[in-house]
Each structure stands twice: as structure tokens, then as C-alpha cells.
Amino acid sequence: MAKRFPRKKLHKTPKPKPAVAGAPRKAKPRRPGPPPVRTSEQPGERLQKVLAAAGVASRRECEELISEGRVMIDGQVVTQLGVRVEPDKQKILLDGEVLRQPRRVYFALNKPTGVVCTARDPAGRPRVTDLLPPNLGRLFSVGRLDMSSDGLILMTNDGELAQKLAHPRHGVEKVYHVQVAGEMTSDMLEQLRKGIYLAEGKAHFAGARIKSARKTSTQLEVVLDEGRNREIRRLLARVGHKVQRLTRIAVGPVKLGMLPVGAHRELTPQEVAKLREGGPPRTKKPERPRPARPAGKGVGAREAREAEQAELTRPSRRPKGAGRPLRTEGRGGKPFGSKPGGGKPGDRPGGGKPTGGRPTGGKPSGGKPGGRPPSKPSKRPSRRPPG
């Protein structure tokens, strides 16, 4: 009989499974291409900023114009925000008309009180732009003064210079005359020069001195090298002095001088050049090595010390019966312990637990001579039978 050999298993390719409805498809590998160019790395300025500087509209409105496809660069319609352009080399069209770059202008204005520095005010209050001729085009203020302050403010259509003057990194100093209520001391001014913590961080005066002092008020000269919202008023309020009047008299090399209230003048080329130079660069102070903290000075030590101090100064609780006169007589006017069995064994004037001593004028508290004092009660015999 012939011997049978087992058949060899042939390798079969698996059949593709049917695609399940809704299952995600595998993405095909793409060929590596050049990385996209970021708009921040492109040369030039942002398109909406160029349009706003040309006096077309505000930046928000210029962004809407770009999104609507009304702006063309070198014959191509642009709808993406953040695109950078070079106005001197590229041709920019708005609604089919060539965008004209306005002439840079710079003005110094003596702002009166009651005038706001915003471009638009829904409340309809007077604005600083209303004090300038309308044929100058769109101008904006460099920094701001609140409604209750007056003095020098710069107006321009040069956005690059305005940003440079407003940024604290360039250290452009601004000088103010401040009248505060009460009498200021040199210690307070030193504290303001060192710095005081506000909600957004530590703030300080770059310079401060007392010009004149009266019984009810003090005239100060304050120098700032940064601009925060109502910084002078908030810092002086932290040391307990309210600002009665605040006037800005200088911004870098530009002085207010004898300019009348509400009037304006154009800056000279020398003043504009000095503004572009900016102030001295601000350098960070070297960090001092911190000494090692002693024991008890770590996190939570302050709370622990305050709790300990509060515990020490807390008035002690009066014990029960303290401050009351002791009762030496019972009912009927008879003294305690004068009658045998008149009270509980071991009673004493003023009440309390039995102490095992003799009551005033009575028999021994134990009842029988030589008996155990009631403070140590005798053990009762167990009712459980033995065994």
C-alpha cells in the first residue's frame, strides 16, 4: 500500500475586507514640500496697518475691507489678514484706486480737562481730534491722558513712532506736575521711587520731588518712564494722598511751554529727530543672591505666626462660676453642713464634686469612722455567681 504524504499548505493572500461605512480612510503620504512662509517673517508692514495709516479707516474697518476683497496688491485680490506689504515697492489699490501715502505730521496739543483721548466716544464727549483742523486727515494720540487730567499730548499719523514712544522698553520720560491733598514726606517719595505693587505688578516713579508744600496740599514733580492706566493716581492713593490736579508738561524733548489751553503747534524737525532717538535703554538690575531662609520663615510661616499671636492675645474664657459670690447658706438661711444629712456628703460652699474632705461644721463625709472617702467609691460585689 502506497504511503500518503500530507499536502503542503499553499500561502494565500488575504482578501481585502469590505469597507465599513463611516470608517476613516488612511491618508496617502504627501511629498515633502517647502515650509509655509509666516506672515510675521515677511518684510514690510501689515496691510491693515498701512491702510489705517493712510487715513482710510480704523484698523478694524480696514480688516473688513480686506475680507470683502476690496483691496488689491500688484493686481491680485487679497482677502487674508496679516499679509505684509511694502508700500514703497508694491502697488496697492482700494476699490480700483491707487492708495496714496499721506505726509507724516506731528503736533503738540495742550489738552484741557473734560476732553477724552479716544478716537470714538459713544457718549458724545469732546475729543482731542476735535481740537485739530479736519483737513489734517486721520490722527491719533501718542499715549493717553484721562478725562480729569490736562497738559501736553502728541498727535501724529506715524504709527511706528507712536508705538516706540508708548512702549516702556525705550524709556521715554514724561514729566508731570501733580497737586495732592495733604502733606507729603520724603519717606513717602522714597517709597514711591522704590516701587509699590499694583494689581498688574510693581510700579514706581522714575523721579519725584516736592516743589512746594502748604498746610492742605503739596505740589510735586513726577517723572514716569512707562505708561499704565491712571498710574500716578493709583500710586499716590496707595500712600494715602488724593490727586487734586495732574498736568503733563513734557514728553521726552518736547515741552509744553507757554502753549495755551486747547491750542496746538507743529513739532520742529529737531524735536521729531530726538523723539525717534528715544531715551536711554532700560537695563535690568543685577539680581542679588537671596540669603537662606531661617527656620520658621517658609511658606505658611506668616499665617502660623499670626494665628499664634491671635491665640496669645485672645481673652481667656471665664470658668464656670467665676466672678460670682460664693453661696455659704442653703435654703432657709442655714449654713451648709450645719444639719446632719442636710446635704450630700462632701458638699462644699459654691457647689462642686465631692472631694472627700470635711464639710464646714458637719460629720465626716464617709459616714462611719475610718470609712473610705466618697471620692474613691467602693467596688460593688459582682452579681454573677462564681463558676
Backbone angles phi, psi at 213, to 5 degrees: -135, 140
219 and 70 share one domain: no
Residues in contact with 148: Cβ distance below 8 Å, sequence separation at least 6, in sequence order: 113, 246
Per-residue pLDDT, 319? 47
Say whether both 270 and 127 belong to one domain. Answer: yes
Angstrom distance (rounded) from CA 349 to CA 355: 12
- Burial label, 284 (beta-carbon count in 10 A; 0-12, 13-18, 19+): exposed
Instruction: Give yes or no: residues 92 and 209 share one domain.
Output: no
Return the sign of the alpha-carbon dihedral for residues 219, 249, 55, 114: positive
Confidence (pLDDT) at 45? 80
Among candidate residues 121, 146, 150, 347, the one labeled active-site is: 146
Name the residue with higher pLDDT: 154 or 374.
154
Encode pLDDT of 41-93 as tens digits: 566 788 888 887 777 777 788 888 889 989 988 888 988 888 888 887 888 88
| Per-residue pLDDT reduced to its tens digit, 180-201 | 999 988 899 999 999 988 888 8
Residues 133 and 74 placed together within one structural domain of the fold: no
Rounded Cα distance between 306 and 152, Å, is: 49
Query: Is 107 within the bounds of a domain?
Result: yes
Pairing outcome for strands 254-255 and 243-251:
antiparallel
Q: Answer yes or no: do 247 and 179 share one domain.
A: yes
Rg of the Cα atoms in the chain? 44
Pairwise CA distance, residues 177 & 245, whole Å:
8
Helical segments of 86-244, H only:
159-166, 186-194, 231-238
**242: in domain:** yes
**What is the CATH number for 90?**
3.10.290.10
Q: Is residue 207 helix, strand or coil?
A: strand
Question: Active site includes 225?
Answer: no
Phi then psi for 72, rounded to 5 degrees?
Answer: -125, 140
Provide the H-helix boundaries in the chain: 47-53, 59-67, 159-166, 186-194, 231-238, 269-277, 301-313
pTM metric for this prediction: 0.56
- CATH number of the domain that 191 lies in? 3.30.2350.10
- Is residue 93 included in any domain, yes or no? yes
Q: Are residues 126 and 240 in the same domain?
A: no
Rounded Cα distance between 112 and 118, Å, is 14
d(CA 58, CA 129): 14
Statement: residue 311 has pLDDT above 80: no
Q: Say what the pLDDT of residue 260 is.
A: 94
Summarised one tens digit per residue, pLDDT across range 241-270 is: 999 999 999 999 999 999 999 999 999 999
227 and 271 housed in the same domain: no
Rounded mean pLDDT of 377-382? 57
Q: Which of 95, 88, 86 is closest to 56 using CA atoms?
A: 95
Q: Is residue 106 part of a domain?
A: yes
Domain that holds residue 78: 39-98
Asked whether residue 4 is domain-assigned, the answer is no
Query: Cα separation of 142 and 60, whole Å?
Result: 19
DSSP H or E run through 45: strand 45-46
Given a contact cutoff of 8 angstroms between Cβ atoms, the answer to whether 54 and 164 are in contact is no
